[in-house]
Amino acid sequence: MNATTRRTPEPFLWLLFSAGGMVSALVLPVLMLLFGVAFPLGLLDAPDPEHLLAVVRHPLTRIVLAGVFVLGLFHWAHRFRFMIEHGLKLGRFDRAIAVISYGAAALGSILAIWLLVTL
């Protein structure tokens, strides 16, 4: 490796971005359809709250929900970062914008996982 080559976390961040986009595109529309349309309109019988809580308390469900939350937040952070940098032409503040964006995603991920663990 060349001594002047600088390693960057950019490939890892693009991986989180693409994974978050894929998970969000596959999971969130189904959840929005069920909990935002089908159950409130009575098209499907709504699950019993105790049963729903039991499902959410299952360890596998918690892992899946944590993955959806974490990947969705990092997808948002990547989109937000590049929207601010390129859309508002603030590329000169790249490092600060990246730290704020991914820091917010990391804090949100920690909060989401903490909420899932204490539920």
Please, which pLDDT band fits residue 97 given cuts at 50, 70 and 90? very high
**How far is Cα 95 from Cα 114, in angstroms, rounded to an integer?**
28
pLDDT mean over 109-114: 96
Residue with tokens 């699950």: 47
> Is the pTM for the entire model greater than 0.85?
no
Contact 112, 70 (CB under 8 A): yes
Work out the burial of residue 95: count CB atoms within 10 Å of its CB; fewer than 13 is exposed, 13-18 middle, 19 or more buried. exposed
**How far is Cα 98 from Cα 70, in angstroms, rounded to an integer?**
17
Convert the pLDDT of each residue in 1-54 to its tens digit. Answer: 566 777 888 888 888 888 888 988 999 899 999 999 999 999 999 999 999 999
Asked whether residue 109 carries a pLDDT value surpassing 60, the answer given is: yes
Sign of the alpha-carbon dihedral angle for 26, 31, 37, 43: positive
What local confidence, expressed as pLDDT, does residue 3 receive? 61
38, two tokens: 């089908």
Instruction: Locate the DSSP E strands across the chain.
Output: none
pLDDT mean over 79-87: 90
